[in-house]
Structure 1
Amino acid sequence: MFKPLHAVLSALGLLALSACSPQATPDVTAAALPQETVTVTGTEKAFSDELSSQIVYGVVTNVTNRPYQVSVTPSNYMSGWCGGTLISSTWVLTAAHCVDGYSASQMRVRAGINDLTTSTGQLRTAAQIVMHPSYNRSTNANDIALIRVSAFTLGSTVQPAALPGNAAESVLDVSGKFATVSGWGKTETGSSSPRALREVSIPITPTGSDCGSRPANTICGKYYQGKDSCNGDSGGPLAASYNGKFYVLGAVSYGPAECRGYGVYTRVNGFINWIYNTTGISAQ
């Protein structure tokens, strides 16, 4: 059965794809984190090794290959929670369920990182969170949100992805095409050492019943060799290249507990007007 990625699958003892149940760890300082000082009262938390690793049946990649990839994490967590896509130096696209219930001051975004256990890259605290006004946590409809941050310094490891206009969408988001999903979510082994960025290419379709009944404006990640996104990948990018640009076609939304295909992604092209009205960023 499909579950939202942030739900706890208590009957199976598993977690859905977004925010894993944490295990408390001893106090650790946040002073080593880059770009800004983060003060946390009480105990920092990190994910269980069994529940917080990476993409299922994917490969280790490098942030220079996916410079639009960011990590979206509550301020009282030391490790990954969700992914996101940089769409400008100051705006990040993610899933609504990743930020649902959190204020802007509680969320952090890290860019330009390969390994979540390091203090490299750039860290920002969210200045604003805008969830889609029609997001429905029960049906996963309109599972999309935007996070505004102070500007990241752009370079080889930090670059925004383009938003797909109708021309790019008509070429990239069609049945039979492949797209790449990336993140720091659970793998097929459950291993989380090292906590490296990984990616996997999957066949997609905006139509058809492969992923069952699903909300409007979603993309189905069809079954292919058991490859999939999984716990911890929520909100992250489903992307493809076209005319020398990376386009973010979707954001990881939800999928089956076993993470072996049939994942559902919020279709970015279906929200272009809302994104423009919120951020001023146009489709390309």
Structure 2
Amino acid sequence: MLKPLHAVLSALGVLALSACSTQTAPEMAAALPQETLTVTGTEKAFSEDLSAQIVYGTVTNVTNRPYQVSVTPSNYLSGGWCGGTLISSTWVLTAAHCVDGYSASQMRVRAGINDLTTSTGQLRTAAQIIKHPSYNTSTSANDIALIRVSAFTLGSTVQPAALPNNATESVLDVNGKSAVVSGWGKTETGASSPRALREVSIPITPTGSDCGSRPANTICGKYSAGRDSCNGDSGGPLAARYNNKFYVLGAVSYGPAECRGYGVYTRVNGFINWIAQNTGISAQ
């Protein structure tokens, strides 16, 4: 899927993938509630063609990606800003650049939603934000953060992804394997952000120079017919299924401005100890 628009990494010639938009976020008329939003009836039908592609991906839904959440500033209404991965009922994994400069009270997380413009799903205001202490805004090194929220109610559309231990990592994160990236980011450079959650499968590699020079503990999304994440997908999950579990392998970090492959993802396994120390959540 897609990356952020809000930070151009001039030294690398790449674009940060956080799900930010180039448009100024509209001011909110009133504060949104922290607690669960009322879900009534069926999901609002999408008006766009369901066969349409997002940087050569497809429309999906949170029943397929129940770990997918939206991460946005509290004054940003319905557009995509960043994504995140639920790793427990109270903790979300995202990119550091998605929350950089914001206090916990300024960020909100939504889970269990397909369409960003609806008021369905569950909404929480962040209670705590933990950025990696070595995050580097210039190089995007250690582009990872944690958000603590009051507990989401788990169900078919809201379920955490597992963190990969070394054994799982050795099976899923190798050259020649593919993983799925999902989010509400742009479907191509210059396009408006979609309302519907989308996903795309891309080939990955933890090694090699396909994505050029990049920070340690990152995964390269290799070129494959232009499939990619894009603006607004930052912080969102790069995930794979193994032994009947979804594992989050990476978080969308940055990539070329044209969104046609070679996206870079923070490698979750490289930060397993840091995650466990701050959340108590262990790899599986």
For normalisation by structure 1, the TM-score amounts to 0.86
Structure 2 distance, partners of 1:190, 1:162, is: 34
Identity, in percent, stands at 86
The alpha carbon displacement at 1:22 in A equals: 2.3
| Distance 1:270-1:25 versus aligned 2 partners, 3 A rule | closer
Structure 2 distance, partners of 1:71, 1:26, is: 18
Would the aligned equivalents of 2:239 and 2:250 in 1 still touch at CA under 8 Å? yes
The aligned residue for residue 122 of structure 1 is 122
Structure 2 distance, partners of 1:117, 1:188, is: 20
The aligned residue for residue 58 of structure 2 is 59
| Distance 1:165-1:282 versus aligned 2 partners, 3 A rule | same
Structure 2 distance, partners of 1:4, 1:28, is: 25
| Alignment of structure 1 residues 80-159 onto 2, 5 Å | 80-159=80-159
The alpha carbon displacement at 1:29 in A equals: 4.8
The aligned residue for residue 43 of structure 2 is none
The alpha carbon displacement at 1:7 in A equals: 1.0
The Cα offsets for residues 58-89 of structure 1, whole Å up to 9 and x where unpaired, read as 10001000000000000010022100000000
The Cα offsets for residues 11-42 of structure 1, whole Å up to 9 and x where unpaired, read as xxx97532222236576455689627xxxxxx
SS in 2 for 1:23: coil
The aligned residue for residue 51 of structure 1 is none
The alpha carbon displacement at 1:129 in A equals: 0.2
Structure 2 distance, partners of 1:188, 1:139, is: 24
Would the aligned equivalents of 1:33 and 1:119 in 2 still touch at CA under 8 Å? no
The alpha carbon displacement at 1:57 in A equals: 1.4
SS in 1 for 2:152: coil
SS in 1 for 2:270: helix
Structure 2 distance, partners of 1:146, 1:203, is: 26
| Distance 1:193-1:179 versus aligned 2 partners, 3 A rule | closer
The alpha carbon displacement at 1:194 in A equals: 5.4
User: What code does the residue aligned with 2:180 have?
Assistant: T
Instruction: Tell me the number of residue pairs that the alignment of Structure 1 and Structure 2 aligns.
Output: 263
Q: In the alignment, is residue 258 of structure 1 matched against residue 258 of structure 2?
A: yes
The alpha carbon displacement at 1:102 in A equals: 0.3
The alpha carbon displacement at 1:244 in A equals: 0.2
| Distance 1:141-1:257 versus aligned 2 partners, 3 A rule | same
Where structure 1 has 5 or more consecutive residues not aligned to the other structure, the ranges are: 37-53
Would the aligned equivalents of 1:6 and 1:97 in 2 still touch at CA under 8 Å? no
The alpha carbon displacement at 1:5 in A equals: 5.3
Where structure 2 has 5 or more consecutive residues not aligned to the other structure, the ranges are: 38-52
SS in 1 for 2:219: strand
The aligned residue for residue 23 of structure 2 is 22
SS in 1 for 2:265: strand
Structure 1 distance, partners of 2:133, 2:33, is: 37
Structure 1 distance, partners of 2:223, 2:201, is: 11
The alpha carbon displacement at 1:56 in A equals: 1.7
The aligned residue for residue 40 of structure 1 is none
For normalisation by structure 2, the TM-score amounts to 0.86
The aligned residue for residue 45 of structure 2 is none
The Cα offsets for residues 70-113 of structure 1, whole Å up to 9 and x where unpaired, read as 00000010022100000000000000000000000000000000
Structure 2 distance, partners of 1:95, 1:111, is: 17
| Distance 1:154-1:172 versus aligned 2 partners, 3 A rule | same
The aligned residue for residue 47 of structure 1 is none
User: What code does the residue aligned with 1:63 have?
Assistant: V
User: What code does the residue aligned with 2:60 have?
Assistant: T
Structure 2 distance, partners of 1:114, 1:273, is: 32
Q: RMSD over aligned Cα, in angstroms?
A: 2.4
